Structure 1
Amino acid sequence: MKRKLLLSLLMGMTIFNYAKAGDDPLKDIRKIIEASNAIYADLANKEDASILTRYTDDACLFPPNAAPVCGKDNMLKFFKSGPKVQVKFTIQHLYGDGKEYVTEESFYEMTDMNGKKMDEGKVIVIWKKTNDGWKMYRDMFSSNGPLKQ
């Protein structure tokens, strides 16, 4: 009897663990990233450094065909030099354990302020957990379009 009870208990725990493993451990982090992505272009368009609130203090951008852009002053110059745009991000995958770092793999579609498509491409962002929440630590992006000469 004790043996059957112990076996039943172990089977129940195993089933519970398998069911729990089906939960997405990054579900809450995905919501945070989606919310940040939704306001990203609006913050960048302000040109008042509010976009930098999305990044860690030691963040770097890795734009296409350019050297890395690290440090808040350099990143602000980068954002101020760009056009005003609207961007829609679509998360394809999130990787990681959600404890310190998470990697986002996304596609983007960029339009001008009138909705005319300007570009589309892909993004890899390493998100870092900070005392102020999840922030972008490394941000790499590139166009799907041909290189313009």
Structure 2
Amino acid sequence: MKKTALYFGIFLAIIMLSVSCVQQSADVSKDIEKANKAFIEAFNQSNPDAVTACYTSNAKIFPANSKIIEGHEAINKYWSVGMTMGIKKVILETLSAIGYGNIAIEEGLYKLYADNDQLIDEGKYIVTWRKESAKWKIERDIWNTNSPSVATKYKTCENNFIAQLAASINFAKSKKVNPVEYGKYIGSLHANGWQPKDKDHLKYFMDGYKWNMNLFKNFRMETLEQSDSMVKAKTKADWTHLSAGEKFYGVDSVEMNEWLKAAWTVIADHLNLDYKQEQDGNWIVFTVSKK
């Protein structure tokens, strides 16, 4: 009898301990909306550092048509590119946010705009938040677009970065600005973030070039010549396959190539490098060399 009572007491204690360890769920929508407000303000002010500060140090983001991007440095680069490629405003709408202790799961909707409030993308997202030092920060971030029609119509251009590039060029046209000049302007803004820690600016440029261009779907690069002072290579991505006269969001491949050429020329010059680019069929052939 005593053994039975002892076993029952142990069993009851285990049950009570298990129940006490279960985190009770709670609606934390207001807190998450406040955290999202900080993200939105940072993004709309084109401040990638402040955007990155909204993520935990071990955060991961899962963009469509892209590899997993992990850590502050990579996330900072990702959003920096998005800002310089024409995304000027983001709107986030929290549908629900349920907290479990220091963890919260949010479901929501997003909209991305270019200048003059031109909508370039909208979709849905799920974010896992973690509370650190009494502040909610993003730990996992995944989203996808609601616009499959773009991928259907342009089967060789299933990439939102191409849409953003086209939106940037269209914005320049709407303001009666030469897209090439606008590409130089964007390049100058982007160049400020290129701060090599070592003296090999050529390698730094090539690493950055591959990282940025790899954001475009089916990016390929082949090195043609290489030395300590120069690299000649050819690249292509989905938009380079557009046939003559075919346009993506009203922009053809020639305009996209000229825009990118202008931007890369400015970035290379910032690193004391020369950048030359020409078209060879579906390939972009470029040479970057030390001055």
TM over 0.5: yes
Matched, 1:116 2:124: no
**Offset, 1:36:** 2.5
Letter in 2 for 1:25: A
- Write the deviation string for residues 4-32 of structure 1: whole angstroms up to 9, x where unpaired: xxxxxxxxxxxxxxxxxxxx932xx3222
**Offset, 1:46:** 2.7
Structure 2: runs of 5+ lacking an equivalent? 1-24, 158-291
Structure showing greater radius of gyration is 2
Higher helix share: 2
Structure 1: runs of 5+ lacking an equivalent? 1-23
Q: What's 1:140 paired with? A: 142
Q: What's 1:59 paired with? A: 59
- Is the Cα contact below 8 Å between 2:40 and 2:92 reproduced in 1? no
Distance 2:114 2:38 in 1: 15
Q: What's 1:20 paired with? A: none
CA gap of 1:110–1:48, structure 2 versus 1, over 3 A, is: closer
Q: What's 1:88 paired with? A: 91
Identical-residue share of aligned pairs (%): 27
Distance 2:74 2:124 in 1: 22
Q: What's 1:3 paired with? A: none
- Write the deviation string for residues 97-138 of structure 1: whole angstroms up to 9, x where unpaired: 2x0211101011222232111111001000011124111000
- Is the Cα contact below 8 Å between 2:39 and 2:50 reproduced in 1? no
Q: Which has the higher contact order (CA 8 A, sep 6+)?
A: 1
- Is the Cα contact below 8 Å between 1:38 and 1:88 reproduced in 2? no
Q: What secondary structure is seen at the aligned counterpart in 1 of 2:95? A: strand
Higher strand share: 1
Counterparts of 1:59-78 in structure 2, within 5 Å, are: 59-78=59-78
Q: What's 1:19 paired with? A: none
Query: Normalization by structure 2: what TM-score?
Result: 0.39
Distance 1:112 1:93 in 2: 27
Distance 1:95 1:46 in 2: 29
Query: Normalization by structure 1: what TM-score?
Result: 0.73
Distance 1:80 1:54 in 2: 14
What is the count of residue pairs matched by the alignment?
123
Cα root mean square deviation, aligned: 1.9
Letter in 1 for 2:36: N
- Is the Cα contact below 8 Å between 1:128 and 1:135 reproduced in 2? yes
